[in-house]
Structure formats: structure tokens, C-alpha cells
Structure 1
Amino acid sequence: MKLITFIHKYNKTFFLLAIAMLIVSCVEEIPIESEGFEEAIVIEGTITNELRQHEIKLSRVYAIDSTGPSALSGADVRVIGNSEFEFQESEPGIYVSKDSFAASPGVDYELNILVNGQEYRSQTAQLPGTSNIGQLDANRVDYQGEDGVAITLSNQTSTGDANYYRYEFTETFKFTSNMFKSTDIIIEDGLAKLVPKQKEEYTCYQTNNSQDIILANTNSLSEDSVNDLLINFIDADHPKISNRYSLLVKQYVINREAYSYYQILEELSGSENIFSQSQPGYFEGNIENINNPEEKVIGFFNVSSVSTKRIYFNYQDFYNPDGIRPKFVSDASCEVTFPTIEVLKEQLENNGVRWYETPIPLPLNQERPVYVVPRRCVDCTVFGTNEKPEFWED
């Protein structure tokens, strides 16, 4: 089965190719200026058909050799549609709608921003058609010469004008430390003492958000449906799949202007998160300064319909459950040492070691009381959290 993938990373050799593709395709070209610039305002915002509080991000980005973007505070932010929705600053540069709302079909939405005496306004946008994620599949594959698990997506037949898609995902995985220990060592009144472990350190969870832009375009296909789109590939040697893995995928139906914008952004920065990137050049989106149309404004105001779906799989679904599972720390790095009481005290103060074994029952042998190993070999919270997510299903 052929995997359709639009997952790309920043590579300058693809830049001219991407522009050429935009010119010859049915997607409208977004003008790009390659000359440098001193600074520009960055506006990043999407409203969807989800009933929730929506978010707009504002910052200023500087030349590529600067220290990066800075949050833009003190703005008056509103989205105008069938009603006027006000946003308030929740943290520097982050504006959240005061009330929950959902974008409705057939309504023109416009983003308005007043800051530092300047007014910024987006082009109007309507909610595009809808399309639900029909199926997520996980399969063991050989992908570009690497063994691992590929997660692919197929969506259901769309309604309305749904030809362009953008995807995000959040992965969460369960993992264990190299060693299970139920005992801790402490120093009390100058003496080593064994105590029961006070927190969970063997089983943990880690959550990561997608960083790549993932796009799909069905405009040239006979059916408005995406089939076997590669969303994520996890290498067999990564601890992510060592126990249980979950992926939550969010599908955005976007218009062709937004699709074109994200294609170019993908080539320029390798990430759709323009709020955290230093841009190597300038390209415009669908927002302008009403007072000064010549001002450079980076960003795009989106109105999207959204569909989500989650998948789980276990290590033993694809690999030998009795085999050696990938870990964050190699067993060879878990060296057992036998420190003096003075060294042990310092190691414990720095939270650098965990109890491994007691050669002679305490309180005897206080000069060298216990064997220890590096903390990372016992304490899984070095790499994640021991709090089980509310959504998690075992």
C-alpha cells in the first residue's frame, strides 16, 4: 500500500521547487520577498467549528541574526462575524477569547487588531466544508530503510468545499525505567538509612506535540478523500514504542489560500509555529496594516473545520514481548558504584543517584553503606511524568 506523505523538513534545495509548484498549480501564489528586513509583526490565529475559547498569538520577529521573536502585549483583539468576539491577553502575546464560540457555515469572519496606534485587519474567511477522520491505522513497516511503526490516516467523504487539509498530532507514550526499586536511601543524623520509596519512579508518561507541517491536497483527485496519509513514523529503536503508545490526530479543513501559505512557510522555516521561529525572509499572508499597507505583516488568519481521532497500540502488537525493549538509558550506562558516606551524601543532595543494593544490613558498615546507580536508571521522571493522563486507556 503506497503511503502518501507531505511531511517535510526545512531544506533550502526545495525552496525554488516549492515556488515553481505553486506557480503551475491551481493554488494561488503568495508573493515572496527574499530581501532581508529589520522587523515585522507576526499574527497567528485559527478559529474553528469547535465550541471553545480560541487563541490569537502576536509577536514581533527580527532579522535572522537577532535573538528571536518577542511577545506583543497590550493589543485590542477582536474577531467579527455573526457577532463580535473580544479576546483578552492571558499571558504576554497570547490572546484568548472571553467567551467560547464556534465558527458557523456561511459567515464571513474577520480578525481586527489595534496595537501601538496601528490597525491590522485580515481578509474575510468562511468556514470550509467538513470531513471526518475515518480511520487511523498502525502498521510495522520498512520506511526509508528503517524498521518501525507507521501511523496512517484515511478520512471519510467530505461535504462542501473540502479539498485542502492540515494535520497536527499529540503523541503520548507509557514507558518504564531500567530498574524497579521500592527502596530509597537517605542520610539522617549523619547515618545512611533505608526508607520506602515515596513516589512512583518506574512507570511514566511523556507527551509531545507535532513539529512538522503535514498537508494534504485532494483537489486533483477524483474523490475528496485522503487515503493512507503518513502522519507519523516511530523508529523501532525509540523508547516511544517500548510499552504503550497513543496518537491524537487533529485534522483541519482549510481553504486553498491557507494551504498555499503553509506550503511556503514549511519551506522557509520547517515548522508551522511562526510564533517561535526567526524567519529567513518575508512573505505575506492575508493580514495587512490598514494605516500603513506597506508594513510587513507575517501571518495568516484561518477559519477551519476540525475532526479528531485517537489510536493506541502496544509494543507486543508488532514486536516480540520477550525481546530487548528500547530504553532512554542503555544498560551499559547504569554503572553500579560503591561510594563512601561522604560522597553518597553529596550525590543525594544533588539528586544524582538511587539505591541499588545494600551489601551489609544497616546500620552496619556506615563507611560505605550501599551500592548506587545513576538516578536516570531508576527514576523515570527524568524523562517524563509519573502522573497518568486523564484520557489514558490501558
Structure 2
Amino acid sequence: MKLKSKYILLFLFTAIVAVSCVEEIPLETEGFESAIVIEGTVTNEVKQHQIKLSETYAIATTGPNPLSGADVRVVGNSQHVFEETEPGIYISRDSFAAESGVDYQLRISVNGQDYESESMQLPMTSSIGELEANRITLQGEDGVAITLNNQNISGIGNYYRYEYIETFKFTSNMFKTNDIIIEDGIAKLVPKLKEEYTCYQTNQSQDLILANTNSLIEDSVNNLLINFVDSDEPKISNRYSLLVKQYVISREAYTYFEILEKLSNSDNLFSQIQPGFFAGNISNISNQEEKIIGFFDISSVSTKRIYFNYEDFYDPQNIRPKFVPNSACEVTFPEIGLLIQQIANNAIRWYETPLPLPLNQQQPVLVVPRRCVDCTVFGSNEKPEFWEE
């Protein structure tokens, strides 16, 4: 379930009202009504925070539509001005952190209209307890599950939202020490100009993960599934890391995201259980009837990282999953004209030179597709600063 898909569903049917209470609105299946979309969370992290503005788009058009030219401010004990760094993306000029006991309000002026959120305060903080990685079978698929266990005996129920950033190390199908170049129509071998065997890829989660301990005696989150990595995925083939971000959110924010989750998970948008409404905490000052998608929240954040290796759960002698099946790494022997063209297009890599001829002579060259040798097709060859082996 992806957060982006959730908003697309909302865009198509405009089943939204951003008011302080939940108001029912029938789902409409015909016609299209534009609405402003506001996304933003300010946390207790000292950083430059981000607010995103866009407009809904019809199914027959390409979207989303960034909303530019807005005056965006977050007001607390002081006023924080946000500047547009790219279409629809507004970043605070200064780094700041939300503080306890302070009322914060989002204020936006755009296209002659003024919008403001309800006042929000920073919730209590709650640290992540333990992250665990275990090999399991989930819905018939073998893989590794990363789960969270959070024990915080405070006697006060909390509402949580989770995000994660996964980073994994992987290798290309083949290890080669030379590159092939063409000089004056002659194929020559040179030492490799860059690292192409070991790479890293980083992905931001799109899943909406929620937890609610309000009905429990202890503020505990137990065995919450954060991510599941299938054993067939290349991301599990070497070393894998997951950074989990835990947001303690308000009850109102939890309700907002919970409805968003249920609305987007409905197998049939026109089923009897379809709620047909949506709620937020942002309104047009002069037009309370305007439909607005989004929620402005103040949240406390904690983070934790976990690592594991392929051999922690699987036989190291196994054939490990790759981005490219070995069967797709066909070795070819192109004639010189085609070879020159393939090198110019960065489409191939040297495999071997079958005859021991001097490198300054034209010679037969065996090559394979670039993706079989060059891991930068799928990631970066720069090791992340946080990476630990």
C-alpha cells in the first residue's frame, strides 16, 4: 500500500473535507472538482522542515500539479518562513525544532486565498525499543521480516506513525578489472575507470504504517511489521540496513491517516463500507466550504537502524538474487563497427579478449551487456557515510 496511491484515489473522487470535525460527503463518480493538497509535518528534529503544496488532477491528465507562488509560514513562539525550492516544495529558511508546550499553526496564502491549520502541540516523546530481523513465511512467500517492539510503560496511550529508509549493498553479476575503449578504430583495454562491482541503493518507504496503544494498559507496540524483504529480491543478496523513524502523533493525525489507509485499501471504491468522507485540520479562512486535502501535524521523532547479512538467514553457497538474471548476460562477439557503436552508447562492457594479441592491434573482443557488469545501472558506487560492515 503506497501513500502516493492513496492521494491519487482521493484526487480522482474528491471525497475530502478539511474541517475540524468529520462531515460526510457522498462519493461522486462523475465530474471533477479541483482541490488544494497540503502535506507537512514539523518535528522536534533541528532541521529545515518541508511543506508540499499541489492541486488535484483528473484521471485523464498527468499529475500531480505543484502549487507555486505561495507564502508559507509556521507560527509558534516565533515565525518560520518557508521558501519554494522547487515547484510545490517549500523549505524553511532556518533550521528549527518544535518545542513542548508551544502552539504551532501553518498559514498559507496563495492565489488570493488564505489557509490556516488548527493549532497543534508537540506530543510526548517515545523512543524505539528494539528492531528485530527474522526469516519467516508471509502469505506463502519466504523472506526476512523487520519488526518493532516498543516497551514504554508510561500509562499514557500514544499514537504512532512509522517511516523507513532502506539501504542495501549488492554486487553486479560479473567482476571485471578492465574497460574497453576504441582508439583510431582499434579496440584497446584500459584499467577500469570507476568502481562497478559493488554498489548501494537507498529507497524511501511509501507505506503508511500506524500503531495505536490508546486502549492498552502499557504504551507498548509489539511485533509491528515494518518491512518484509522477499528472498528473491536483490536487496537481500549481500548486506541490508533499515532506518526506522517513529513519529508520535496526535489523535487527530492518527484518525486522519487511519481513514486514509482504510479508504485506499478498499477493494471496491463503490462498496457499501466506503466511508465517503475525509477529514483534515486545514481550512480556508474566508471559505469554510472549500475542500482541502491534507493535515498539518507536530510530531516527536525517534530513529533506530538495523543491519543484517544474507548469510545470517540463508546458505552462503546459494545462488543469490540479482537485478539481472545470469541467463540475460549473453556474451557476444560484435564486428568492429557494431562494437564502436555499442561502446559509444555505453551499452556493453568487456568480457574477455580470446586471443593473446598485443593491445595495440585490432583484435576480437567478447562483450556482455553493461547491466551485467556495471552495478551503477541500479545504484550508487559511493558507500553511504553511515554504512557499517
Same fold flag (TM > 0.5): yes
Q: Is the 8 A contact 1:203 1:386 kept in 2?
A: yes
CA 1:65 to 1:220, structure 2 compared with 1: closer, same or farther past 3 Å?
Answer: farther
Number of the residue aligned with 1:18: none
In structure 2, do the counterparts of structure 1 residues 362 and 225 end up closer, same or farther at CA, with 3 Å as the change threshold?
same
Q: Higher mean Cα deviation, 205-214 or 153-162?
A: 153-162
Q: Relative to structure 1, is the Cα distance of residues 264 and 65 closer, same or farther in structure 2, using a 3 angstrom cutoff?
A: farther
Aligned positions of 1:200-279 closer than 5 A: 200-269=195-264
How do residues 369-384 of structure 1 correspond to structure 2 at under 5 angstroms? 369-384=364-379
Query: What letter corresponds to residue 215 of structure 2 in structure 1?
Result: S
Distance 1:199 1:314, change over 3 A: same
Counterpart for residue 268 of structure 2: none
* Distance in structure 2 (CA, Å) of the matches to 1:129 and 1:233: 29
CA contact (8 A) 2:189 2:359 kept: no
Does the 8 A contact of 2:132 with 2:148 survive in 1? yes
5+ residue gaps, structure 2: 11-20, 266-275
Q: Deviations over 1:335-382 (max 9, x none)?
A: 111111111111111111111111112348967621111111100011
1:195 equivalenced with 2:180 (yes/no): no
Which stretch has the larger CA shift, 287-296 or 227-236?
287-296
Aligned: 1:185 with 2:180: yes
Shift in Å, 1:184? 1.0
Residue 283 of structure 2 is aligned to residue 288 of structure 1: yes
State the 1:264 CA deviation.
2.1
Report if the CA contact (8 A) 2:123-2:250 is conserved. yes
2:116 paired residue number: 121
AA partner of residue 389 (structure 1): P
Letter in 2 for 1:293: Q
Aligned residue pair count: 364
Alpha-carbon distance in 1 for matches of 2:248, 2:2: 17
Aligned partner of 2:50 in structure 1 is 55
What letter matches 1:163 in structure 2?
A: N
Helix, strand or coil at the partner of 2:107: strand
Q: CA RMSD in A?
A: 2.3
* 1:313-355, Cα deviation, whole Å (9 max, x unpaired): 0111111112111111111111111111111111111111111
- Structure 2 match to 1:80: 75
Aligned to 2:273: none
Q: Is the 8 A contact 1:88 1:95 kept in 2?
A: yes
Distance (whole Å) between structure 1 residues aligned to residue 114 and residue 156 of structure 2: 31
Stretches of structure 1 that go unaligned for 5 or more consecutive residues are 1-5, 16-27, 271-280
Structure 1 residue corresponding to 2:312, chosen from 313, 317, 320: 317
Judged with a 3 Å threshold, the aligned counterparts in structure 2 of structure 1 residues 188 and 9 are, in CA distance, closer, same or farther, namely: closer
- What is the alpha-carbon distance in structure 2 between the residues aligned to residue 284 and residue 143 of structure 1? 33
| Cα deviation, residue 224, structure 1 | 1.1
2:94 is matched with 99
Task: Indicate the residue corresponding to 2:132 in structure 1.
Answer: 137
CA contact (8 A) 2:357 2:363 kept: no
Which residue is 2:38 aligned to? 43
Alpha-carbon deviation of 1:155? 1.6
Query: How far apart, CA to CA, are the structure 1 residues paired with 2:314 and 2:350?
Result: 32
Residue range with higher mean Cα deviation, 173-182 or 292-301: 292-301
Matched residue, 2:65: 70
In structure 2, C-alpha distance between the alignment counterparts of 1:241 and 1:347, rounded to whole Å: 32
1:338 is the counterpart of 2:353: no
Secondary structure, counterpart of 1:111 in structure 2: strand
Q: Distance in 1 between matches of 2:117 and 2:2?
A: 28
Give the distance between the partners of 1:332 and 1:287, measured in 2 at CA. Answer: 54
Deviation at 1:59, TM superposition (A): 1.0
Deviation per CA, 1:63-113, whole angstroms, max 9, x where unpaired? 333322211111111111122211111221111111111111122111111
Aligned to 1:170: 165
- Identity, in percent, stands at 71
Measured in 2, the distance between the counterparts of 1:128 and 1:297 equals: 24
What is the TM-score with the length of structure 2 in the denominator? 0.88
1:34 paired to 2:27? yes
Q: Residue 199 of structure 2 contacts residue 380 of structure 2 at CA under 8 Å; is this kept in 1? A: yes
